[in-house]
Amino acid sequence: METRTIQIFDTTLRDGEQTPGVSLQTEEKVEIALALAKLKVDVIEAGFPVASPGDFEAVSQIAARVKGPSIAGLARANEKDIETAYKAVKKADRPRIHTFIATSDIHLEHKLKMTRPQLLERAEQAVRYAKSLVNDVEFSAEDASRSDWKFLCQVYERAIAAGATVINVPDTVGYTTPAEFGALITHIRTHVPNIDKAIISVHCHDDLGMAVANSLAAVTAGAGQVECTINGLGERAGNASLEEVVMALNTRHEYYRAITNVNSQQIYRTSRLVSTLTGIAVPPNKAVVGDNAFAHESGIHQHGVLNNPLTYEIMSPESVGISRNAIVLGKHSGRHAFEERLKHLGYEIDTETVNTLFAKFKDLADRKKMVFDKDIEALMVEKAAVRPEWYTLVYHHVASGNQMVATASVQLRTSAGVSEAASCGDGPVDAAFKAIEQAVGFPVGLKDYQLKAVTAGEDALGEATVWIEQDGRTFSGRGLSTDVIEASAKAYVNAINKMLAVCGFPAVQQAQGR
């Protein structure tokens, strides 16, 4: 059997954006899409254009600015959705419309209130209309894994006859098992007469922890496209994780006889970028991209890996873009060395950005003896998170101890001037947050706060993430510093800026508010 190339369809920006607590702004979505293009995924599902004007705008921007992958927009099986999706993706070099309708009896009866013949008709019309607008049309039978197999095959046959180039088989509710799902794919291959005119795609959810296993079983049975997300983000328990699907196919290509076009060395930094911009942390034990994925704790394992990595390593950290060597730069490193390191890490950036980053690097090297690759990656990701900021933190001063009440004073700058405030609190971080809240002059709904070290060592760079809530939406902010209070205060201000960019000033109006 010859080796097949499996298409990787990334839906981080559509299904992944439906992760509870995630809301990305247009610039953040473009930043992620650019990273996905570098990762060399085949298709980027950029959003659901009819869902909101914000979704439409993000998909349009990505279609116009991100080159390489096909850009897909999701649409229900109706004219308005399809037309809106078309308007959003039309500027892409290779636009795709992805239209879907549910085919299981549960959905037909309780959601769509349609009969099977009516559904066949609707699916055909939707695909035909999409095909009149673009050449590349994907058709999804929502809840396929709980649909009647015979009926499902009829739907796919009609969709392909109407012009679908890809037919997607979603396990929408994460219910199937690898053997069962593989059998369904085989059944479709042998019972849909015109199946050779379309690629079979799968879209698996992880409710029972089997999304990746189900996707791979489908590949073995002949599926040619896998839908997945960075870090496995997505509705409920999430989707199949892109990094796990890709590395399973890479590592076991002799077994699967299949590869992908993905540049695996971009996996780690894409994972970090997505984690930072969505505010959803990657668990340390997560396969492929978790902090512990390549850490060998037991002495026997460490000894083996030092003699020959193959003893306990089935893939190398370098293959996913994690560098093994530790120390890179220090305070005496010059601009040239810094730029070389960025190139080595795979970043091609303009001189102006290198200058900005170099200034940040110098500042960091002053505070920290050794600057590691992970620190540089963190600076890069922080750059990605920069947006027009309403407030900037000018200074903060915090006094705390076990015999005193923590007090903080802060100064924030806006285009309208500076704002100062002081407050006491339950510990130094709480005091700093309360002082910032007073300085901005409206209540900030703090939801969650997290602090972690980017690298090991007592002078490690601390990375703080803060989640705040406004109008029922969650916004995450991130701050980076060797001083954990400063990292926390920066994260809090960053979250407030993101919230203001979307919601405007809350009811308590500032004089200069929008």
Interface contacts to Zn ion, rule CB under 5 A: 15
With beta carbons less than 8 A apart as the criterion, state whether 388 and 25 touch: no
CB of 239 vs Zn ion, minimal distance in Å: 6
Burial of 48 (0-12, 13-18, 19+ CB in 10 A): buried
**Least separation in angstroms between CB 376 and Zn ion:** 35
Q: Extract the runs of DSSP E, i.e. beta strands, from 225-298.
A: 225-228, 258-259
Q: Which is nearer to Zn ion, 15 or 437 (CB)?
A: 15
Question: How far is CA 171 from each of CA 192, 204, 325, 460, rounded to the nearest angstrom?
Answer: 19, 5, 41, 43
SS3 181: helix
> Which C-beta is closer to Zn ion: that of 244 or that of 373?
244
> What is the distance of C-alpha 104 from the center of its chain?
29
Q: DSSP readout, 105-119?
A: HHHIIIII---HHHH
C-beta separation of 46 from 91 below 8 A: no
> Which one, 15 or 382, has the nearer CB to Zn ion?
15
Q: Which of 305, 312, 266, 261 is nearest to 289 (CA)?
A: 266
CB of 14 to Zn ion, least distance (A): 8
Q: Smallest distance, Å, CB 229 to Zn ion?
A: 9
User: What does each C-alpha distance from 362 to 383, 429, 458 come to in angstroms?
Assistant: 15, 26, 19
Instruction: Name which of 15 and 244 has its Cβ closer to Zn ion.
Output: 15
Rounded to the nearest whole angstrom, what is the least distance from the CB of residue 206 to Zn ion in the complex? 10
Shortest-Cβ-distance residue relative to Zn ion: 15
How many Cβ atoms are within 10 Å of 205's Cβ, its own excluded?
25
Nearest to Zn ion of 140, 481 (CB atom): 140
Q: Which is nearer to Zn ion, 216 or 496 (CB)?
A: 216
> Smallest distance from the beta carbon of 26 to Zn ion, in angstroms?
22
Minimum CB separation of residue 476 from Zn ion in Å reads: 22
Which is closer to Zn ion, CB of 171 or CB of 377?
A: 171
Which C-beta is closer to Zn ion: that of 100 or that of 475?
Answer: 100
User: Which tokens sit at 32?
Assistant: 């992620």
Angle at 342 between CA 308 and CA 378, to 5 degrees: 85
Structural element, H or E, at residue 72 = strand 70-76
What is the closest distance, in whole angstroms, from the C-beta atom of residue 411 to Zn ion in the complex? 46
CB of 139 to Zn ion, least distance (A): 15
> Which residue, 15 or 17, is less far from Zn ion as judged by CB?
15
Q: How far apart are the C-alpha atoms of 287 and 329, rounded to whole Å? A: 29
Q: Which helix (H) or strand (E) holds 45?
A: strand 43-47
Q: With CA atoms as reference, report the closest residue to 239 among 198, 264, 274.
A: 274
